[in-house]
Structure 1
Amino acid sequence: MTETAPLTNAARPGETTLPELRTPPGQSAAGARERTALALLGGLLRTTRPKQWVKNSLVVAAPAAAGQLFSRHALTQVALVFVLFTACAAAVYLINDARDAEADRAHPTKCRRPVAAGVVPVPVAYGVGGTLAVLAPAVAVWLTPPFVPALLAAYVGMQLAYCVSLKHVLVVDLVVVTTGFLMRAVIGGVALGIPLSRWFLITTGFVALFMVSAKRYSEAVQMAGKAGATRALLTEYTTGYLRFVWQLAAGVAVLAYCMWALEEGGVPQESVLPWRQLSMIAFILAILRYAVFADRGTAGEPEEVVLGDRALALIGLAWLTMYGLAVANW
C-alpha cells in the first residue's frame, strides 16, 4: 500500500484554496503590497472625479474672449491655473467623500465610491485633501498674481462650507455651485490681468445657473415618488420652482450674450463677416437644444449632455468657431 503524504492547506469541503498560497511567500507579500498601493492610488484618482475636470477648462474663457490666449506667457499661466484649480476641486471632493463616507455606504450608488467602499481609508482622504487644499494656493502665491491664490482659497473655503452646511440651504446651494463656475471663468482673466466685461460675467454666471438648476430639476423629476433617495434638499424644492429658475437663467443668459455681441455695434474693417453677431444664432440654438434635455428631466450631468448629443456638440463647435473668428477679427 502506497503511503500518501499529507496535504498542506488542503481545502475543506465547500472551500477553495486561496491562490496566494500557491505563490512564494515573499512574492505574495510584495505583490499584495503593490496591488494595495495601486488600488489606493486608483481610488484616490477616482475620488477626484476626473470627468469633472472638463469644467476647469473654463479658465481659458476670459483670455480667449480677450484674444490673449496664444502667447507663451498666457498659455503657461492658463495651464498653471488649470492645474491649481483642479487640485483645489480634487481637495474638496476628497474631503467631502471622507466626511460623507458613512452616509454614502447606505446609498445604492454612492456606496461604490472609493472612500465609502473602503478602497481609500477616511484618514487618507482627509490627509490628501487637506494637503491639496493648502498646497495649491501656496504654490499660486509664488507663481501667479496675488488675486489668484486669494480666489483659490476662497473657492476651497466656499466649497467646504457647502459640503458642511450650505448644501442644505434653499437657493444658497444653487448660488454656491453657480459661483464656483463663475470663479473658474474669472480666474483665467485675473491670472493675466485682463479686464472682464460685465456682459461676459453676466453671461457666464447665468449659463452656469441654467445648467445647475436644470441638473437639480432633472434630479427632482427622476426622484419623484422616491423622497430622500438622493439629495435631501430636493424634497424642499418643487419641480415648478426649479423649472422657473432654469428658464429665467436661460433667458437672462441669452439677453446678456446678445448685448455682448452687439456691444461694439459695427463690423471691424478687417473682419469678413459680423462673426460676433452671427455667433448669437449658435448660442441661442445651443441654449434651446440643452433646454430639451432639461425639459425631459435628463440634464443630470452637463458634460455628459454636451458630449453625448451630436447635434449639441456640432452647434457648440459652430459657436466656438464663430466666437474665435470674432475675437480674431478675421
Structure 2
Amino acid sequence: MKVLLLGVVLVQLVLLLFSPVLKTRPVFQWYYTQVFYPVFVDVDRLRWKFWAVPVLYASVYGYCAVLFLQDVEPVVRTRLTALERWVVVPAALAAPLVSGALAMAVKPRTSRGAWSAPRYDELIFHAGLECRTCRLPKYARSRHCAICGQCTLLADHHCVWVNNCIGQDNYQYFYGFLAANVIVTSYGSIRLAWVRRAGGDERSLLVLCALLGCFAVILTVFAYFQVALVRDGMTTGEETKWLVVHDMLRQGKLVVDGSGRYFYRLDREDDAGAFEFYSTNMYDSRVYPVQNYRTVRDPAEITNIYDRGGFWANLRERVGYGV
C-alpha cells in the first residue's frame, strides 16, 4: 500500500513538473489542459482553489490546538504559572484566529474609491497610464490583482494564507496576523522546550515542540523580509521594480538627462557603438532621442521618494497613521 501511494505521488510530481514543458505530448497534454492550467494558471476557473491554503492553515492550527489541549496541557499544567494558564495560553490560542479573520475580512482600498494618490516618481511609477483590465488610472504604488479583479492601492501582495490582497487600509491586520503567529509559535516552542528540559519526555510534547519550532523559524524569516521592506520604504511589488533598476545601474545602462528623467541605454544591434534609449516605464516601447545625459553610477544618486525616512515612519503610513 505504501509503495502504491508513493508511486501515485511520484507520478503526480512528474506530471506537475513536466506538463508545462511537454504540454503538446499525449498524457502530458491532457494533464496540462485538465489539471495544471485550470488549477495553477487560470484564475477564473475553480475559484474554490484559492481557499485551499487558508483551509490548510486552519487544519494545521486545529491539529496543534487539539494536540495541546488534549495531550500536552494536562502534562504541563502544573509547570505553568497562573498567569500563563488563565491569560497567556487563552490569548495565544485566540490571537491567530482573530487576527486571521480580520486580515481575511477587511478588504484593501482600490482604485475605484476616492483616494489621494502618491505622486509619480517617473522611475518605477509613471503618470498617464491606465490599467488594461480595470480601465482605470494606474495610480502610483497600485497594482492589479488578477485573483481579486481589482487594482489595490499601496499594494504589497496577494496573501494566499488569508486569500486577500494586502494594501491600503488592511496592512495593520496582516501585520497583526503575522506577528501573532510568530509570537505564538516562538513562545510555544521555547516554553515547551524548557518543560522538556525539566523532565517532560512525553511523545506529544516532543511533537508539538518540534512543529512549533519549525513554524517559528519559517515565520520569523518571512517577518524579517517584511520588516526590511517597511524599513526601506518598499512593497513586495516595488522591490522587484527596484531590483531591475539597480541591475541596469550595475551594468552602466541607467542614464538621466538634463531634466532629471531616467532612461535605459541599450546597445543597438545593427550599429556597433550606437545606443537606443528607452523609458524606465515597462509599458512604453518607444525609442527616445536622448542627447545630453549622464550615466548613473552610484545607487545614492537615486532617491526613493516613497521612503518616509525610517521603519517607524513607513509603518505609520501603512497602518493609516501617516501623513
Task: Return the TM-score normalized by structure 1.
Answer: 0.29
Q: Which has the higher strand share?
A: 2
Which of structures 1 and 2 has the larger relative contact order (alpha carbons within 8 angstroms, sep 6+)? Answer: 1
Task: Return the TM-score normalized by structure 2.
Answer: 0.30
